Structure 1
């Protein structure tokens, strides 16, 4: 009887503590904090959100408490006083209540195709900003189509693709252009990833990323309809046109064998370029994205997996097999457990961005004018970091949130559903990303 009484008193105390903690609106709530990405966001929040009021949210109190304990121990911080909010994606009321308690929601609950819109809707209606790490073009562009006008009306920023690899790529193009001192016609991006410090076996990517890719590729045809409604017309056709390189090629920009990059970088960069053209009349930059490998054998294996993956996503049975047996069809790169912490911390990434254009002296009067001479200026930027999947991603996501809170006066308009390059082009985000252990560094490495 005494133990029941003590448990009852403890529960009452927990609710009272949470009431006191939530009597004032929080700066940031990390939603989906008990998930794989979410818990590492909690760890990075110990430094990135150090001077802010923040909390975590999810559907299971015990799991959320366990995350605070685990990540607090890892960060050598006492997180026992961090507020916990119970909310789940299938409970509209709980999402609305969660959104009303924060200035910004950091949404780690994917795949966003299934679980993203509910959170975006709750945030926009509550007047709360929203960031996530989606790499799903259909989701991102449909959110822009459905909620952009209301978000602007409510003064809310909704920014997706705020993790690796879109933040390094999209902001990398912005960084390159700021330093170019002229007009860029085109960019080519090259992603490389590698591990250091010996042999690190096991998976490299968490199952959630694989699941999003399966559904994203399966429904890629939806994009045409979304874009026909979202965009009023095509961008101007500028010359010279940036042609795609051959499917497998040896790069003259990096020392690697390259394939076209299948992720969302290209579409995210193009969305930012379209926004800047439509709002600032800035000449849009053409883009092609590639991924580099250290050997032809590795490139051929990945190409083979990509072909099989693409074919299987077209059929229900194929999709089910991919989802049920990710390790087999990814040659061990994907697992439900994700990469080990040792492997994540030993992983480094580099995105090399080559810009080609004209020097400042040849700048045109109107952005829609065409140059008569061929491009004569090249510049290369390098964007680097560590632990791309869960370190750099979580830092980028949280820095995106803090940027909205402190630099909103440097962001476009009063709100809207935006890609990161468009949202953060004039903010201090690039400089802020370099401040943390798992931060991201931007630098110019060649200018000629």
Structure 2
């Protein structure tokens, strides 16, 4: 299964990027502002090299001949959306969210969609449960069913040929994700996933970005709770700061009710395999030969493995999910393609008091030790409840646990007011923003995924001009996705902003 899945003071994601462009004007409609200080220009100029606009081996712009619009729904391609893996634990919630989205629309505005998976009977039951929950008994007869399997490439091709956008809920993605990406690209179909596995996400970019651009396919990873709140939260913070944002720390807090907290073991499996395969991720990054993104302003200091956050009155530990990888890739994209000053980023999760710290430390030690060995990984996967101290189970959370849970992600940003040089001064601007929402894995994740899909379908003119493999921030930074999320219960807000 996929990795973990998540009153505002204005939720507009767009808004003018402040400052001046790094280079001369781009083509009409392409100019993007976001670098307000001359010192920033100097730092980024060193990154590009003297007169070098694109470095060898870096992020390559798609070829000019690539298509720049999503495929249209036709008789041969009848569905706007296909939820692949709809009978899985997370997939069933995504299917319910698509159905809920269609219920609120006028009949003439509803989008034809389908569910896909290996078992027709299981898919039918998913639709029946959604119909019962939404009070819409005709739902099963209104939704298409497609039978396909990741081990059968021909069946994946048939699924991709019938959809404009595939919502891929089948994980772990390191095992099952690539055939879906490949089938979608070959058939000019776009694909959104909720992956929280950095190795898969980064590998798909290096293998398929150019091909996706040629085919006009938008392949957008980590579009669930991993990592839309973090990625768009940083972009939102940048847009709301009256100056140059140079560094952000985020702190995730998960709130649970009296029933406690529980996560389905699909997320646990992805973590086990991910930690057990760290060497391959390191090798991939070394072979990519990426030039470091320049640091603008003061370098963001990393916290200790266990630190105390006074602002939140809680201990915190580094967040080990995909957020840091995703945000950094977005910042590289925004620098290289939209000429925006890069933002440093670090992610943490609050853990409450010292008792929780000790409990999580033991769970982390168990995980890091056992993932080194094949038999250790088998034990971790077989007994998730034991080794995670009750946080993960094969059954997943109960409905009461889901209903009582929520999340808050708090962002502390620092930067420079207009006219202040980042290279010669300490940060003189502070901003605090928040992203808040319902239960992370099975409520916020479906909302984020479905609204990402709706944005992909409706905000075509605000997307990157060609297809490719993107992070959420790279794909949606200029769209209305933050507004859509806000309207569906994932709220973005400014807590405070000041000059110091």
Q: TM-score, normalised by structure 1?
A: 0.90
1:447 aligns to what?
497
2:206 aligns to what?
145
Distance 1:22 1:302, change over 3 A: farther
2:390 aligns to what?
332
CA distance in 1, matches of 2:89, 2:371: 24
Q: Where does 1:240-279 land on structure 2 (aligned, <5 Å)?
A: 240-279=298-337
CA distance in 2, matches of 1:304, 1:287: 27
CA distance in 2, matches of 1:220, 1:277: 27
1:31 aligns to what?
84
2:171 aligns to what?
110
Distance 1:341 1:22, change over 3 A: farther
Is 1:63 the equivalent of 2:115? no
Deviations 1:346-366 (A, max 9, x none): 10100000100001233x6xx
CA distance in 1, matches of 2:289, 2:182: 22
Q: Which moved more, 1:268-277 or 1:238-247?
A: 238-247
Q: Where does 1:317-328 land on structure 2 (aligned, <5 Å)?
A: 317-328=375-386
Deviation at 1:397, TM superposition (A): 0.5
Q: Where does 1:78-227 land on structure 2 (aligned, <5 Å)?
A: 78-81=138-141, 82-196=143-257, 199-201=258-260, 204-227=262-285
Q: Where does 1:339-378 land on structure 2 (aligned, <5 Å)?
A: 339-362=397-420, 370-378=422-430
Deviation at 1:49, TM superposition (A): 4.0
CA distance in 1, matches of 2:369, 2:239: 41
Deviation at 1:294, TM superposition (A): 2.1
The size of the alignment, in residue pairs, is 417
Deviations 1:288-328 (A, max 9, x none): 11100221111221122112211111111211110111111
8 Å Cα contact 2:295/2:342 also seen in 1: no
1:426 aligns to what?
478
8 Å Cα contact 1:259/1:303 also seen in 2: no
1:9 aligns to what?
none
Is 1:394 the equivalent of 2:446? yes
CA distance in 2, matches of 1:354, 1:237: 17
CA distance in 1, matches of 2:100, 2:327: 29
Deviation at 1:399, TM superposition (A): 0.7
8 Å Cα contact 2:250/2:410 also seen in 1: yes
CA distance in 2, matches of 1:239, 1:182: 13
Q: CA RMSD in A?
A: 1.5
After TM superposition, which residue ranges in structure 1, 4 or more long, deviate above 4 angstroms? 21-24
| SS of structure 2 residue aligned to 1:427 | coil
Q: Which moved more, 1:373-382 or 1:244-253?
A: 244-253
8 Å Cα contact 2:77/2:164 also seen in 1: no
Deviation at 1:231, TM superposition (A): 5.0
1:73 aligns to what?
132
Distance 1:205 1:412, change over 3 A: same
8 Å Cα contact 2:157/2:184 also seen in 1: yes
Deviation at 1:413, TM superposition (A): 2.7
CA distance in 2, matches of 1:186, 1:24: 44
| SS of structure 2 residue aligned to 1:221 | helix
| SS of structure 1 residue aligned to 2:275 | helix
Deviations 1:137-173 (A, max 9, x none): 0000000000000001111110111111411111000
8 Å Cα contact 2:114/2:145 also seen in 1: yes
| SS of structure 1 residue aligned to 2:342 | coil
Deviation at 1:228, TM superposition (A): 3.2
Deviation at 1:22, TM superposition (A): 6.9
The equivalent position to 1:403 in structure 2, one of 438, 455, 462, is 455
CA distance in 1, matches of 2:290, 2:434: 34
CA distance in 1, matches of 2:288, 2:119: 37
Higher relative contact order, structure no. (Cα contacts within 8 Å, ≥ 6 residues apart): 2
CA distance in 2, matches of 1:359, 1:303: 40
8 Å Cα contact 2:220/2:475 also seen in 1: yes
8 Å Cα contact 2:351/2:357 also seen in 1: yes
Deviations 1:176-201 (A, max 9, x none): 001112111110000000123xx204
Is 1:287 the equivalent of 2:345? yes
Higher helix share: 1
CA distance in 1, matches of 2:259, 2:203: 39
CA distance in 2, matches of 1:134, 1:57: 18
